[in-house]
Structure 1
Amino acid sequence: MAKFLLKSTFTPEGVKGLVKDGGSKRAEVATRAIEAAGGRVESLCFGLGEYDTYVVCDLPDHKTAAALAIAIRAAGGVDTRVVPLLTPQEVDEAVRKQMSYQPPGA
């Protein structure tokens, strides 16, 4: 399983739905969608800022994360962005990999 951050912003129609349904129902809907995709929600919070919701979850792979985001956005009401997350151990593995790169102008 891979870890992802789903950042979402409600559209004007989505805000109307939020007012009608409430936050708990929207959280349940999001959780069910993630679980139906084979994932697990670690945390789900509403925010007051650039994004309206933040969900940290585990999903089977990047294709599943993309499919979930596409389905959510296609349904309307919410604009969702997916951010792959790395564990500290995955970063440890990444920094041990030998990479070759030439910076611009070098």
Structure 2
Amino acid sequence: MTTYILLINWTEQGIKAVRESPKRLDAVRKELADMGGEFREFYLTMGKYDMVAVCEAPDDAVMARLALRVGMGGNVRTQTMKAFSEKAYREIINSLG
């Protein structure tokens, strides 16, 4: 499985309905599980982003589909980053020669 970091901000629509946010998170968590992935961690944050999620998915297409489906709801905007573990990082650096 590939790890992804999602940086999430509420839209104006999303913050107006913030009390429903936990239900929306549960629905997205289930949707990702149905696609073969999972939420590893989720944080409410202070600063530039309102929330951060660490997810795993079988491939980039699954994560892209999830991000698009979440965005279609209009409650949040996401930025998705593919993440490499420390082991993968070391392998990449060592492969430089």
TM-score, normalising length from structure 2? 0.88
Q: CA RMSD in A?
A: 1.6
Stretches of structure 2 that go unaligned for 5 or more consecutive residues are none
Distance in 1 separating the partners of 2:79 and 2:91: 26
Which runs of 5 or more structure 1 residues have no equivalent in the other structure? 100-106
Q: Does structure 1 residue 69 correspond to structure 2 residue 67?
A: yes
- Which residue is 1:4 aligned to? 4
Give, in whole Å, the separation in 2 of the partners of 1:55 and 1:87. 16
Alpha-carbon distance in structure 1 between the residues aligned to 2:6 and 2:56: 11
Aligned to 1:35: 33
Sequence identity percentage:
24
Are the aligned partners of 1:7 and 1:55 in contact in 2 as well (CA < 8 Å)? yes
Contact persistence 1:27–1:44 (CA under 8 A): no
Q: Residues of 2 paired with 1:51 and 1:58: CA distance?
A: 20
Please list every run of at least 4 consecutive aligned residues from structure 1 whose deviation after the TM superposition is greater than 4 angstroms: none
Aligned residues: 97
1:82 maps to: 80
Instruction: Answer with 71-80 or 1-10: which moved more.
Output: 71-80
